[in-house]
Amino acid sequence: MINSEIQRPQSLSDQIRLYRVSGSSYFARPDSVIGRFDLCDSLHRLYMLCRHSKLVAGLTYLWREKNICSVLWQRCTSSRDNLESPNMYDELHRPQYHFTAREHWLNDPNGLVFYDGEYHLFFQHNPDSVKWGNMTWGHAVSPDLLHWEQLDHALLPDDLGTIFSGSAVIDWQDTSGLRTGDEKTMVALYTSAGEHAALPVPFTQSMAYSNDRGRTWTKYDQNPVIGHIRAQNRDPKVIWHEPSGHWIMALYLDDSDYALFRSEDLTNLQRTCGLNLPGVTECPDFFELPVDGNSEDRRWVFWGSCGGYLIGGFDGIDFVPETDVMHAEYGSNGYAAQTWSDLPAADGRRIQISWMADGKFPSMPFNQQMSFPVTLTLSRFEDGIRLCRAPIVELERLRTRTYLTEPCRLLPGKNLIPETIHDLLDIEISVEPASAHAFGLVVRGHTIEYDCFSKTISCLGKEAPVVTGDSEITLRFLVDRTSVEIFSGDGRISMSHCFLPEAADVPIECFVRGGELQIVSLRVHELASIWSTP
C-alpha cells in the first residue's frame, strides 16, 4: 500500500512544494520571475501511482486554494499520449501566443487564404518526427488570427515527391472548372519535391483543390502543372490580377533568380518575365499596396525568404523594379514569410506571417514556431518608399493587465524594473536619449541594446539600423516564452529572434549606459495565452 502526505503550503513567496510518496521526494516550484521547472514526467508518474489516494485531493487544494499548480495539475491529469488535449499546449517551452503544431516538426507557412470566416494556415510539417523531413502540408484554421484549431493533414507525399511550399487561392469565378458544389473552390499550388520521392525525379509544380472549405483535398489528375525548369525550382505563390484577368504565379528558380507566370485557368501557365534579387533566395511573395494609404498611388512588392524585397510596377506581364533590394527583417529567425490571400475588401489589410526558423525547443513534443502576424504597409520617407511591418491590432484582445510608467529620468546603474512577473508581454517604449550612450532592455536574461551614436539596435548577435526623425525613439517588443520580436516605431525594421531563457531575477528591466535617459512613456502589457482563452 502506498502512503502519501502533503506538507501544507505556507506562502507563495519562495516556498518549494514537497510531495512525499513512499519516502521519495518530488519537488515543484510555482511560477516565479526566474521561470519554471518542467515536472511533467515526475508528476505524471506521481499521479499514476497515487490517483486513488489523498494526494489528488492535496494537489486539488494547492491548485484551487493557492492558485500555484494549475499548469502542473493539467499536466498530471492529462494523458501524456493525448496530444489533442488543449491542456497539452502548456509545456515548458511552448509559445503561448504564437502558432505551433500540436506535435512534431513545422516550418514554412503555406497556402495562406481566407474563406467563409476562416483564416487558413497550411504549413510545412513532418507528421512523424520532431526533425525535418517527410514534408506534408499541415493545416490549421482560425476565426481571428489568434486562436487556432489544427485539422487533419491536407496534402501527403506521392510519386511526384514530398509536398514542399506553395500557396492557395479561392477560385471565385471557377476559372479552373474544378467546382462541384455550392462552395467556392479552394486551389493550392505547391512544389512536388521529386528528389525526395521513392523513385527520385526533378522538382515540379503541382495543384490540388478542395470543394468543402479546405477539409478534404483532391490532387489535380494532370499534375504537374509546371514541369522542371532548373535546379530545385520551387515555392509557387499565386495571386489574382484583376486588371488583366489572369492568375499570376511567382516562382523561385535557383541562386537569386525568380520568374513570373500567368494563366487564365490555373492549369496552363506561361512564363512572362524573370527577375533577380541579389542575396535573396526561395519563398517568393508578390502583392500590391497603396503608398501612405492613397489608393491612387500604388506599388508592387516582390518579397523573398529572408525579408529582402523590391518595390516596383507591374502591368500584368512584367515587373519593373524601382529600387534595389531592401530589407524589412533583420533578426536571426525571421524566414519564409507569406501573406494571406482573399481577405475581404472591407478589411483592406495585407497580413503576413513567418516561420521563426531554427529555434530551440529541447524535450518538447513539437519543434519550431510561427511569428506573430503583422500588417504590411508602404510609407514614404525622406529616403524613399519603404515597406513597414506592425503587429496586427488583434493582439490587443489578449491584453489582461498593463503596467504604465510616468515620464521619468533613468540613470546608469539605476535600472527600471516594471512590476510584472509575467512571461507573455507586449512592451511599448518611447525615450529621449539625452546624454545616454546606449539604452535597452534585458528580457528574460537576454540584452537588447540601442546604440545612440550608431543608431542601431542589437539583439542576440544581430544588428539593425533604426532611422529616427527627431530626438524621440519608439520601439516595440513582443515577448513569448521562447521568442522576442522587435519593431521600430515607424515599422521600417523588425527583428525576429528565438531564445531559451537565461537565469534572471526579473523578466524585464530597462537600463541606460554613459548618461541619463528620459523615458517618455513605457507600457508593459501582460498577455493571455491563445491556448486557454476563447
Which residues are identified as catalytic? 108
Strands 334-339 and 350-356: antiparallel
Neighbours of 390 (CB within 10 A): 17
Taking the C-alpha atoms of residue 532 and residue 97, their distance in angstroms, rounded to an integer, is: 10
487 with 475: CB under 8 angstroms?
yes
Helix (H) or strand (E) holding 40: helix 40-50
Strand partners, 209: 187, 218
Which one-letter DSSP state was computed for residue 265?
Answer: S
- Placement of cell 524594473 in the chain: 417
Taking the C-alpha atoms of residue 486 and residue 501, their distance in angstroms, rounded to an integer, is: 17
What do you get for the CA distance between the two ends of the chain, in Å? 43
- Helix intervals (H) in 67-153: 70-77
Q: Give which of 72, 70, 69 is closest to 41, Cα–Cα.
A: 72
- Placement of cell 496552363 in the chain: 268
Phi-psi category of 322—alpha, beta or left, where left has phi over 0 and alpha has psi -120 to 50?
alpha
- Placement of cell 514569410 in the chain: 337
235 with 257: CB under 8 angstroms?
no
375 with 350: CB under 8 angstroms?
yes
Taking the C-alpha atoms of residue 317 and residue 219, their distance in angstroms, rounded to an integer, is: 28
Taking the C-alpha atoms of residue 490 and residue 480, their distance in angstroms, rounded to an integer, is: 22
48: CB partners within 8 A, 6+ apart: none
Taking the C-alpha atoms of residue 508 and residue 497, their distance in angstroms, rounded to an integer, is: 16
Which one-letter DSSP state was computed for residue 37?
Answer: -
Taking the C-alpha atoms of residue 510 and residue 432, their distance in angstroms, rounded to an integer, is: 14
Nine-digit cell at 502?
A: 537565461
